[in-house]
Structure formats: C-alpha cells, structure tokens
Amino acid sequence: MQTVDQTRDWLLSRARVVTTTETVSLLDAVGRVLAADLVSTLDVPPHDNSAMDGYAVRAVAAAETLPVSQRIPAGTVPQPLADGSVARIFTGAVIPPLADAVVMQEQAEVQADGSVRFGAMVKAGQNIRRRGEDIASGQVVLACGQRLRDADLGLAAAIGQPQLSVYRPLKVAVFFTGDELVEPGQPAAAGQIYNSNRYWLVPALRQLGCEVIDLGIIADTLTATRTALRDAANLADVVMTCGGVSVGEEDHVKAAVEAEGELQLWKIAIKPGKPLASGRIGEADFIGLPGNPVSGYVTFAVLVRDFLRARMGEQEQGRAAVRLLPAAFEWLKPDVKREEFLRVRVMERDGQWVLQRFANQGSGVLTSCAWADGLARLQPGQVVQPGDLLPVYPL
C-alpha cells in the first residue's frame, strides 16, 4: 500500500492547470483563481495624508499659539502651509506642502480668537500616512495562482483595477454506481439505500468553484459504466465516481476505466479509505472514490481536494495549518498498517481546547463527518491516551 503522502504527491504531480482564462468583474471574482500577476500602476496611498482629524503643522513651530490658515477636507488640493500657521485637516486629506506633522484634535486647544495651541510635544512625521506605504507602483499585489478572497478584491479596487483575468472553472463530471442506490424522495425497497454520496460530493465540488456535471446513478453493468465514462470524459476535465473501484465481481469501474483509458489503482494506507482509483480517459483525468460514505468523504478531504485545486491553477495546495491539540479520549486498538484519520471536534474544557472523538468511527457512519470539524491524523499503530498531542486538520 502507498502512504498518504506518496499518494498525494503523485496526484499533485499529475495535475495539469486549465489553460483557458476569462476576464470577470471584481464582484464576480471571489473564489476564482487568478491567471496572471496583478501589478500596481500607482502608489497607495497616492499622497501623504492625514491619519486622523486634527491640525497639520510644522513640528518646529508647534510650541507656539498659531492661527488656522486653511481648512483641508478629504478630496481637496491644499495650498502650501503659510508660515507661522496650522491647517485644519481631516482624515484622509492630503498633507499640505511644508507641513510635517498632524496633531489630533483631542490634543489641540482652540483659543477664543480661533488660533490653536497644542497640549503635547509634536514630532515630525506623526499621524501621517506616507505615499506608497501600503502599495508601491510596480509592486505585485496579487500573484498568479492565488484563490481570490474578499480582501483581495478590495485590494484590486484600491489600485483602480475593475476586472481580473482568472482561470475558467474546472469542469468535473460525477456519477455514482450501485444498483442498491436510490435518490432521496423515492421509496427504498428492501436491500436499497439512499445515495448520500451525491449530496456531499456535488456541494463540495461547487464550494471549490468547479462546474459540476452531475450524471446521477449509473446502472451497475460494465456496458453502462463504459458509456458513462466516455460521455463524461467528452464533457469534463475531470471524471469522478463513487463506488465500484474495488475488485469484486460487481465492481465495474476499474474494468471500464481500463477499457476506455488508463488506470492506476491504489490500495492506500489510509483508514477510512483504502481503494482509490486514478487515471486518464481521453483528455480527462479520472478519480474513483470508495463507495463507503465516510471513506469517500475522508479520501476526498485528505487527497483529492488539493489535486482539484492544483488543476484549477491554484499555486498553494498545502493542507490548512495543522494544530496540535490534546486528546480528551483514548484510542487503544489502532490499525497497525494504515494511517487513521479520526473524526474529531475541537471543544473547550476547563479553559483549554481539546479534541473529542466521535464514538463510532466506522466507514459507513456519515454521522461522524456531519458532527466533526476536524480530522486527527494518527500514524500506523499509534495508541492515544488522554492528553496526548495530536495533529488535527480542519474540515
């Protein structure tokens, strides 16, 4: 069996970035992946400006009582500061030439004749935001391959950029195998179960920003599976299935992929999980998840999600920052051959953050995934006692 890290590295090495790009407005760009560096053509702020409401002054003259020579609201162009005077100034307004400090209005005493005296020592440079201190002209403010967040779009707007070049959405076709599967809302006959995998996988792909082509449940025959694979590969960049990737007589996905393309089938040293298939059908990548709901969910979270992010052009596919937290449980019968990913929840106990595990860690207990907010990673054979520090990855 391959290790988790070997499998993940292999998947990332095969990830081909989509080549097509499109230009979208800033308000449509959140969650998309930037396709080219964004370089600023201006300084931010574009001029020295006041960090607060107050008075612009020359620091060397601030010990005197000084008249107010001008009023400078934000958005106006000031005159040079007259000798022996101060300027009333407001937050964001341009610092007038010859002034070198701003005194906040709370430290100013306005005299009966309108002149101003300051109650504290004034230092040159105080309360002034310098031109370009946030962004300098020519600076790369957003890097190619960056998944765009709300603050990133505000940054693009701050340099006057109304739209961005992004990679087109990754097209992922999904289908589900198993004659025992029925859709929610339909009556389930004896021996049938509801298709829960569809209802976590499709939303998970959409949350990544993928364009999902949902082909539903496919009849559990080799002919139907081959036809579905061909159709999916003609429509999508990536074809994903749940179930049928093992080597049983009723598991047709492996044979169908081998007939229509190429397949590398793993038995990964991961629990829950183990059977994961990857290969190529025409120009489309193929990923076959295990059919047990928790096995598929954990395998997707640990291995497949970052492969898809890489395919979308995202440059940083590192797992979310791991936290080391103490266990508030014991685990005395570890798997001696496979890494285990326990479904856990971070909870506060006696003022300390600890890990609580879901009682039933079975591969068919999807309740554990709905309850959990993280996966605690255990090495093969690792026993856990309360208080042991465990690495936990957020879900």
- Relative to beta strand 211-218, strand 339-349 is unpaired
Task: Look at residue 109 and tell me whether its pLDDT is greater than 80.
Answer: yes
pLDDT (0 to 100) of residue 318: 56
* Percent of the chain topping pLDDT 70: 97
Asked if the model's pLDDT at residue 249 lies above 60, the reply is no
Under 8 Å between Cβ of 26 and 157: yes
* Domain ranges for the chain: 4-17+169-311, 21-44+133-167, 49-129, 323-394
Q: What tokens does 57 get?
A: 């002054």
Using alpha carbons, select from 148, 379, 162, 188 the residue that is nearest to residue 271. Answer: 379
Dist CA 362 CA 365 (whole Å) = 5
pLDDT digits (tens, 9 = 90+) for 315-340: 975 556 688 999 999 999 999 999 99
- Check if the beta carbon of residue 343 is closer than 8 Å to that of residue 358: yes
Q: Chain-wide mean pLDDT for the chain?
A: 93
For the cut 60, the answer to whether the pLDDT of residue 122 exceeds it is: yes
Answer yes or no: same fold for 49-129 and 323-394.
Answer: no
Confidence class for position 291, pLDDT limits 50, 70, 90: confident
| DSSP E strands, 183-318 | 193-194, 211-218, 238-242, 262-267, 270-271, 275-281, 284-289
Grade residue 254 by pLDDT with cuts at 50, 70 and 90. confident
pLDDT score at 248: 58
Is pLDDT above 70 for 386?
A: yes
Does domain 49-129 fall under CATH 2.170.190.11? My reply is yes
* Window from 57-61, 232-236, 253-257, 331-335 with minimum mean pLDDT: 253-257
Tell me which residue of 52, 67, 65 sits closest to 118, measured CA to CA: 65
- CB distance 118 to 93 below 8 Å: no
Residue 31 clears pLDDT 70, i.e. is over it: yes
For 4-17+169-311, the fitting CATH number among 3.40.190.170, 3.20.20.70, 3.40.980.10, 3.30.390.30 is 3.40.980.10
Residue bearing tokens 């610092």: 95
The pLDDT of residue 317: 58
CATH 2.170.120.12 fits 323-394, yes or no: no
pLDDT digits (tens, 9 = 90+) for 133-175: 999 999 999 999 999 999 999 999 999 999 999 999 999 999 9
pTM of the model: 0.88
Residue 101, pLDDT score:
97
Please tell us whether the domain made up of 21-44+133-167 is placed in CATH 3.30.470.30: no
Considering only 180-184, 250-254, 339-343, which range has the smallest mean pLDDT?
250-254
Residue 266 DSSP one-character state: E
